[in-house]
Amino acid sequence: MKAGMPKKNQPPAWRLFNPPVLLQLMWPRLREHRWRFIMVLALVPFSALAATAVPYLTKVAVDDYIIPAMQAGSLAAYREPLYWLVALASGVVLAGYLVEALYVLLLQKSGQNLIADMREMVYQRSLRLPRSYFDTHPIGTILTRVTSDIEALGESLATNVLALVVDLIKAMAFLAMMFYLNWHLTLVLLAAFPVLVLLLRFFQSRVRLSFFRARQALSEATGFLQECLSGMKTVQLFAAEEQAVARFREKNRQFLHAQNSSNLYDALLYSLVEGVTTLALALVLWYAAGELLAGVLTLGVLVAFMEYIQRLFVPLRELSQQMAVIQRALAALDHINQLCTVSLDPAEERPEDDPHSQATEHAQAPWEFRELVFENVRFRYSPEGPLILKGISFAVKKGQSLAIVGPTGSGKSTILRLLTRAYGGYEGSIRINGRELDCLKATELAGIISMVHQGVFLFSGSVGFNISMGREAVGPEEVRQAAGYVHAQQFIGQLEEGYDTPVNQGGANLSAGQSQLLSFARAVAARTELIVLDEATSSVDSLTENLIQQAVEKLYQDKTVLAIAHRLSTIRNADLILVMAGGEIVERGNHNELMALGGAYEALVGELEAAARDGGDGGDDGGDDGGR
């Protein structure tokens, strides 16, 4: 199974600087925070100054007061200046603490705001992605972009990158002060630096690679686990549990090996930095001894050096940890950037979404639906895929009703997906009032078409909200009228809080029929002319069934309706019925004409009548699929 698997073991290069779509999208928000960033930049040197000052003041205390007093054997002359110096040093420590707290706070505030902005921006874009994106990417993956990827980015920006920058600035300040105090000794210390740089360089690429490999091994193991769990039914039906576990173990073992090598580098790097620090200390001490005795160097300078050495080296110990976090953040950045690079659904595009776009949103005058025409429409989902629609032509005029019937896979749902612009790229022509569908914006379309979706989808909100969907044109009065129109007001009235009753977990507290009625009310609330009805296949109790049939009849009278029909009544009463099979329209006409034909339509009606006699019995085979 390893054969032919492309080994992608090179970490993504600095894509951060390559296609910065994300940066372009975030630029306006970054600009808003620029004063805070400038403040932070201004405060960091003060923090570095405070950190540098304390060892220096210690040096002054030792050389100017303590040693002379010790030699004099009396404190008297030095007591007061020593007190002042200690007071000053205490003040510097306190100021250093406050400055550090302040810049961290400022940066975090900006950082967290930017992270939230980025999250919202990514979410907004994600809602406008082409439908095919949702079909090819699991929701879990898109969710990761909006949640943990952005969190990883925020965490790393807020702590690690900042810590690295601040440590670097402080290191410069320390080195400058050390040069000022004693440049020979500093040069001796710097002799340790090439060793350190070589070590870091040696490790950097290896650590990065091993972290990368470990992450890859983990994602492979997780991917396999996900497959195993989704396919658990198949695994169990083939009694292949042991084999699945054995494979998972194999993938985990690869992760374990990758981790062990990254652990080794991590431990070595940590220990080497610690060892080099101690070596530097010994080296400085040995060299200082000569200068100390020759009077070139004072004890105070040595004390200060000891302190500076600690402060210089300690941050390096955590470097490998920080590299791991930063690497994770870079990967996250890469993911988010990729999501931002996906072009939006053309129907959903707004000028502000695309930084390069020249388009402007011109307000559309409200328009009246007159007719919908499909003309020799051919469609395939992917360029190499099979032809799903093989030349579909029909027309619906204002006030007419059209029912499309046919077995699963005959292409009737695809017609709907094209009409609602879930998919584009069809051949032939689909026109509304003579305008090609491809050129219409989703907002224009929503002005004339309302859709009753097959899978009734209720949001966690109130019953009223699930009818209005927050649309401006749909106020409480419209909600009530819509509910009345589809005979939903009766059951809503019986709910404890009426229209304000919360809908739980996608409608768990409502019956299937009630949910369907709500979805009808939702569609009629906006009073658009064309209603697209994708009938649900799940059966409902006979009372609600009756209400739904009445609602459909009313719609047939009052509106233009295009229905993917499963109900006998919906089919029978339509002005025009299209019978589809294999991506083609095989029969067309009204009920009586088609019955007279004695073909596929008649057989279908026979099947439906047989099912209707059985009256909602027979459960639902689909229930089994939950376990897969």
Q: Which stretch binds another protein (CB under 8 A): 9-17, 28-36, 37-45, 100-108?
A: 100-108
Site for another protein in 503-532 (CB under 8 A): 506, 522, 526
Q: Would strands 560-564 and 401-405 be described as parallel, antiparallel, or unpaired?
A: parallel
CB distance 345 to 130 below 8 Å? yes
Strands 371-379 and 449-452: unpaired
**Contact positions with another protein (CB under 8 A) in 190-229:** 221-229
- Which residues make Cβ contacts (< 8 Å) with residue 285, sequence separation at least 6? 302
Q: How far is the CB of 222 from another protein (least distance, A)?
A: 6
> Which amino acid, residue 530?
L
Q: What is the DSSP string of 141-208?
A: HHHHIIIIIHHHHHHIIIIIIHHHHHHHHHHHHHHHHHHHH-HHHHHHHHTHHHHHHHHHHHHHHHHH
Q: Report the residue from 46, 161, 190, 274 that binds another protein according to the rule CB under 8 A.
A: 274
295 binds another protein (CB under 8 A): no
Select from 238, 359, 475, 541 the one that contacts another protein (CB under 8 A).
Answer: 238
Q: Which of 22, 33, 44, 126 binds another protein (CB under 8 A)?
A: 126
Q: Three-class SS of residue 254? A: helix
Q: Report the nearest approach of another protein to the CB of residue 161 (Å).
A: 15
- Nearer residue to another protein within complex by CB, 235 or 551: 235
Q: Which of 272, 331, 547, 576 binds another protein (CB under 8 A)?
A: 272
Q: Phi and psi at residue 587, in whole multiples of 5°?
A: -145, 150
Interhelix angle 512-525/476-485, nearest 10 degrees:
120
Work out how close the CB of 345 gets to another protein at its nearest, in angstroms, rounded to a whole number. Answer: 8
Nearer to another protein, 187 or 314 (CB): 314
**Min dist. Cβ of residue 139 to another protein (A):** 5
Residue among 158, 161, 148, 152 nearest 111 (CA): 158
In 257-409, beta strands by DSSP E: 371-379, 389-397, 401-405
| Residue 269 near residue 319 (C-beta atoms within 8 A) | yes
Q: Which of 26, 85, 190, 325 binds another protein (CB under 8 A)?
A: 85
Question: Of these, 200, 276, 495, 568, which contacts another protein (CB under 8 A)?
Answer: 276
Residue 595 as a binder of another protein (CB under 8 A): the answer is no
Q: Candidates 184, 249, 370, 435: give the one binding another protein (CB under 8 A).
A: 249
**619 lines the binding site for another protein (CB under 8 A):** yes
CB closer to another protein out of 354 and 575? 354
Q: Residues 96, 411, 464, 507: which binds another protein (CB under 8 A)?
A: 96
Token duo for residue 392: 């579909």
Q: Nearer to another protein by C-beta: 471 or 553?
A: 471
**Binding region for another protein (CB under 8 A) out of 132-140, 183-191, 372-380, 554-562:** 132-140
What's the order of all strands across the beta sheet hosting 435-436? 389-397, 371-379, 427-432, 435-436
Tokens of 518: 């709500």
Residue among 21, 49, 82, 342 that touches another protein (CB under 8 A):
82
Whichever of 200 and 281 has its CB closer to another protein, that residue is 281
Buried b (16+ CB within 10 A) or exposed e, 307-345: bbbebbbebbebbbebbbbbbbbbbbbbbbbebbeeebb
Question: Under the criterion CB under 8 A, does residue 244 sit at the interface with another protein?
Answer: yes
Q: How far is the CB of 402 from another protein (least distance, A)?
A: 18
Q: Of 5 and 365, which CB lies nearer to another protein in the complex structure?
A: 5
Smallest gap, in angstroms, from Cβ of residue 556 to another protein?
Answer: 21
Q: Applying CB under 8 A, which of residues 38, 143, 172, 176 lies at the interface with another protein?
A: 143
Residues of span 312-331 touching another protein by CB under 8 A? 314
Nearest Cα neighbor of 411 from 392, 426, 428 is 392
CB 438 within 8 A of CB 424: yes
Q: For the segment 149-178, give every residue that binds another protein (CB under 8 A).
A: 151, 154, 158
**CA Rg value for the chain:** 36
Of 32, 361, 375, 620, which one interacts with another protein (CB under 8 A)? 620
Work out which of 116, 187, 395, 543 binds another protein, going by CB under 8 A.
116
How far, in Å, CA of 345 to CA of 472, rounded?
Answer: 23
Among positions 368, 477, 496, 625, the unique one binding another protein when judged by CB under 8 A: 625
Instruction: From 29-37, 69-77, 424-432, 557-565, give the range in contact with another protein by CB under 8 A.
Output: 69-77
Taking the alpha carbons of 446, 447, 452, 458 in that order, is the dihedral positive or negative?
A: positive
Pick one of 175, 232, 373, 495: the residue that binds another protein (CB under 8 A).
232
**CA–CA separation, 22 and 539 (whole Å):** 47
Query: Which single residue is written with the structure tokens 């026979």?
Result: 606
Distance CA 85, CA 484 (A): 84
Of residues 36 and 575, the one with the C-beta less far from another protein: 36
Exactly one of 48, 185, 301, 302 binds another protein (CB under 8 A); that residue is: 302
> Quick one: CA torsion of 330, 335, 336, 340, rounded to 10 degrees?
130
Size of the site for another protein (CB under 8 A): 169
Binding part of the chain for another protein, among 31-39, 86-94, 330-338, 488-496 by CB under 8 A, reads: 86-94
Q: Both tokens of residue 108?
A: 């975090």
Instruction: Report 427-486 residues binding another protein (CB under 8 A).
Output: 442-443, 446, 449-451, 453, 457, 459-460, 469-471
Q: Smaller CB distance to another protein: residue 425 or 493?
A: 425
- Binders of another protein among residues 31 to 50 (CB under 8 A) are none
Token digits of residue 568:
């006998």
Residue 194: Cβ within 10 Å count: 9
Nearer to another protein by C-beta: 206 or 471? 471
Assess 578 for contact with another protein (CB under 8 A). Answer: no
In the list 32, 120, 352, 436, the residue contacting another protein (rule: CB under 8 A) is 120
